[in-house]
Structure 1
Amino acid sequence: MTASRASTGDFANRHVLVTGASRGIGWAIAQAFAARGARLSLAGRDAALLEQRRATLNSLGGPDHTAFSADLSDADAATAMVRHAVAAHGPVDILVNNAGTGVSQPFAKMTAEHWNQMLAVNLSSVFHVTRAAIDDMLPRKQGRIINVASTAGLTGYAYVAAYVAAKHGVVGLTRALAREYATAGITVNAVCPGYVDTDMTAGTIETIVKKTGRSAEDARAELAKGNPQGRLIQPEEVADAVLWLAGANAASITGQAIAIAGGEVMS
């Protein structure tokens, strides 16, 4: 992102809270909103990297941005993070629940600890942050909530049962809240990327290499083959979809789970 793009103003003076904002999809989303004039609250676990990201965005001019380190799977920590963000920038206008992680585990070897961790990080965090942020949206009768789910929220994949269950939960929560708040001026949608060219996918490739002995190139090609376009999705493509859902032209779009996967999943 260049400084010249930071004054386009599509989201000028809008407070955007992005979780999982320090890397991958979350960082691409943060940069895209910052380039359009938003005031950003960046949330995640890596305090040092978040501070670097905040400094990078602030160096480009425009509104000041803030960063908050928190374990969002903890209800109290998530609520405190939202309250700090509101104190810094006012009520949240646009919430992007992007925090999450995926770890593979054959179901027969799956532990309760693994199951609980996947649900806590990928699903409960969405509940905690949304529950805290929506309190300020309701009186104003406006707000956009965009959950970054996955194609794993729309179909099943082997060896990631807990992750799939959690992401299906995110899609279900999205649809339930969309119905509940349809007349409250709040839209709730999900984007569901396939494999994206991020650190998380790099970790998946490393796991494949370790378990199968295949080369990293072969493992990457295998993941890309699941996309009918034969490629990994770029983080900026997901960010573009999020920007559209947050914009004025998507006011009638709610309760949707939009696959960004080159046709891998169709509904």
Structure 2
Amino acid sequence: MEKRVALVTGAARGIGRAIALRLARDGFDVAINDLNKDSLNHVSKEIENLGRSSFSIPADISDRSQVFSMVEQVVQQYGQLDVLVANAGIVQVKPILEITEQDLEKIFRINVFGTLYCMQAAAEQMKKQKRGKILNASSTSGKRGVEFLGHYAATKFSVIGLTQTAAKELAPYGITVNAYCPGVVGTDMWEEIDRKMSEYLDVPIGDSLKKRIEGIPLGRVERPEDVANFVSYLASADSNYMTGQAVVIDGGIVFS
């Protein structure tokens, strides 16, 4: 089997962990990144238990030098980089009128600057290989605004803009660039959103999340594995003619 190497950021838990494990099952050796070293090491062991090699790199994606160093380490370890999954990101929950300069600085540095840095570093290596796939985490909030998630939505709209532009610029090098847009996923992030919304709306904890789930046409909360299954397709040869797309996988929320 031809060796394939993936790098997944934000892989210590939730969607990122599910993606890393799915790519390992697909036959990738998987380098993983996050800030929590202990959690990263645990996921690395899970990947190795699936019979694939894993390499964990604690790094802050909002720091450009750390991102480029991270990709260099992956290439030194494996000799190539075939798929980048720029999954790492944060959420903030606030009404539009309360968003501060500091809030914007933090969320844009991670969700937008960090995604761009990952794309740049990966593309430099992929250009040498004349092939590669870059997959960026957006959101249903990158398709339409959501109350109390205005600046988060702004970062995810930005990711889609970067994805579409990079797809055009990198196509001559054999690099495809796509984004995946999850909805209400049963992770710590959505529990945090629910807690904050309960404060602003003065409703019991769990009420906001419950209403969101009730609005999903497929009738259940999204699982990290649902996202990972789609990313598996984007990382495979089956998606070779697909680029510049930001595809919603949310159980039907956006069209409902």
Report the number of matched residues. Answer: 256
Q: How does 1:18-29 map to 2 (within 5 A)?
A: 18-29=8-19
Matched residue of 2:172: which SS?
coil
1:232 is aligned to 2:225: no
Q: 2:197 aligns with which of 203, 208, 227?
A: 208
Q: What is the rounded CA distance, in whole Å, between the counterparts of 1:165 and 1:138 in structure 2?
A: 29
Matched residue of 2:135: which SS?
strand
What is the letter of the counterpart of residue 5 of structure 2? H
Q: 1:189 aligns with which of 178, 182, 191?
A: 178
Which residue pairs with 1:34 in the alignment?
24
RMSD of aligned alpha carbons? 1.7
Q: 2:98 aligns with which of 71, 96, 109?
A: 109
Q: 2:37 aligns with which of 31, 47, 50?
A: 47
Matched residue of 1:145: which SS?
strand
Which residue pairs with 2:7 in the alignment?
17
Q: Give the alignment's TM-score, normalised by structure 2.
A: 0.94
1:128 is aligned to 2:117: yes
Matched residue of 2:197: which SS?
helix
What is the letter of the counterpart of residue 202 of structure 1? E
CA offset digits 1:1-52 (Å, max 9, x no partner): xxxxxxxx7xx52110000001111000001011122111000111111111
The answer to whether the Cα contact below 8 Å between 1:43 and 1:69 also exists between their aligned partners in 2 is: yes
What is the letter of the counterpart of residue 183 of structure 2? G
Q: 1:261 aligns with which of 236, 250, 255?
A: 250
The percentage of aligned residue pairs carrying the same residue is 35
- CA deviation after TM superposition for structure 1 residue 244, in Å: 0.5
Which residue pairs with 1:75 in the alignment?
64
* Structure 1 unaligned residues grouped into runs of 5+: 1-8
Q: What is the rounded CA distance, in whole Å, between the counterparts of 1:181 and 1:118 in structure 2?
A: 26
The answer to whether the Cα contact below 8 Å between 1:259 and 1:266 also exists between their aligned partners in 2 is: no
1:119 is aligned to 2:78: no
CA offset digits 1:179-215 (Å, max 9, x no partner): 1122321110001011111111111222234444533
CA offset digits 1:126-161 (Å, max 9, x no partner): 111111111111122110111111011111112222
Q: 1:167 aligns with which of 156, 165, 173?
A: 156
Which residue pairs with 2:230 in the alignment?
241
Matched residue of 1:183: which SS?
helix
The answer to whether the Cα contact below 8 Å between 2:184 and 2:222 also exists between their aligned partners in 1 is: yes
The answer to whether the Cα contact below 8 Å between 2:138 and 2:181 also exists between their aligned partners in 1 is: yes
Q: What is the rounded CA distance, in whole Å, between the counterparts of 1:99 and 1:119 in structure 2?
A: 12
* Structure 2 unaligned residues grouped into runs of 5+: none
What is the letter of the counterpart of residue 20 of structure 2? A
Q: What is the rounded CA distance, in whole Å, between the counterparts of 1:193 and 1:83 in structure 2?
A: 29
1:137 is aligned to 2:135: no
CA offset digits 1:102-132 (Å, max 9, x no partner): 1111121111010111111111111111111
Q: What is the rounded CA distance, in whole Å, between the counterparts of 1:235 and 1:31 in structure 2?
A: 11
Matched residue of 1:192: which SS?
strand
- CA deviation after TM superposition for structure 1 residue 217, in Å: 4.0
- CA deviation after TM superposition for structure 1 residue 81, in Å: 1.3
Q: What is the rounded CA distance, in whole Å, between the counterparts of 2:176 and 2:255 in structure 1?
A: 22
- CA deviation after TM superposition for structure 1 residue 82, in Å: 1.3
Q: Give the alignment's TM-score, normalised by structure 1.
A: 0.91
